[in-house]
Amino acid sequence: MTLRIDCPRVSRPVFRTAFVRTAFVRTAFVRTAFAGIAFAGVALAFFAGSPAWAGAVKGTVKLPENARSSRLYQGYWRLENGNVPVQSSGGAKLETAVVLENVNGGHPPAARTVTVELGGLDARPRLVIVGPGSVIELKNTGKIRLELSTPATATVMPPEMLPPGGTRRQKFDSVGGYAIRDAEYPHLMISVIVVDSPYFSTVDEKGSFSIAGVPDGKANLKVWTRGKWASEQEIDTGSKEELVVKVTSDREKEAAE
């Protein structure tokens, strides 16, 4: 009688499979590590080449005493069919803006079309801030004929009659400030400011303004009010102190001289 004992054999493919899996895990780990290092390098290069961002540039615009009234003009206009009140409530603050120029990394806003309604011898809105190439659409919703132009820059918008119910479209390509006026009614004015960066702000009823996300560095701060640039100064956008910008009247300037 012969006794036969069968010993179990260890299959080599088991070890081979385990080795392949280990090698795969190691390869995946190395690839992930290199990918993380590469991403970190790209991010570091991006932030190193980007300007340092400061907080908001904040401050207050101090207008002359005669510009702080809630109404720019008082009285009535005498027309052929009666008297029309001068409707220009809101005061000069509705026509005041703060603009930063020469800011590092600034890009102009996209061109757009803004509609301004002219009725009751008033404009709504009276201040428009846009990027180059924007179009101002002027709609005469009143009952009188208007003759609108930019007198200080006549080549930009020559005089042209706008009858009641009519519409005129004017494109503004160049950066700067423009005042659209009527030939017969001088108080009727639309301020158009074309900017080359998103760093601008209107002022509230207290004259306060805030411009967020301005890169650190030097910039030129300008104040536009009542159809013209009224103040200009260089500022440090990285400063945390709030600005106080005083706008002097023509009479005050003459007295100082």
Asked if the model's pLDDT at residue 175 lies above 90, the reply is: yes
pLDDT at 51: 54
Average pLDDT, the chain: 79
pLDDT at 45: 41
Provide mean pLDDT across the span 110-127.
96
pLDDT at 75: 46
Q: How far is CA 29 from the centre of its chain?
A: 47
Per-residue confidence band for 178, with pLDDT thresholds at 50, 70 and 90: very high
Asked if the model's pLDDT at residue 1 lies above 60, the reply is: no
Q: Which of 82-96, 103-117, 139-153 has the lowest mean pLDDT?
A: 82-96
Walk me through the domains of the chain, giving residue ranges and CATH numbers: 109-179 (2.60.40.420)
For the residues of the chain, what is the DSSP string, one character each?
Answer: -----PPPPPPHHHHHHHHHHHHHHHHHHHHHHHHHHHHHHHHHHHHHHSPPB---EEEEEE--GGG-SSBS--SEEEETTEEEE---BT-GGGG-EEEEES-TT--PPPP-EEEEEEETTEEESSEEEE-TTEEEEEEE-SSS-EEEE-GGGTTTS--EEE-TT-EEEEEE-SSEEEEEEESS-TT-EEEEEE-SSS-EEE--TTSEEEE-SPBSSEEEEEEEETTEEEEEEEEETT--SPEEEEPPPHHHHHHH-
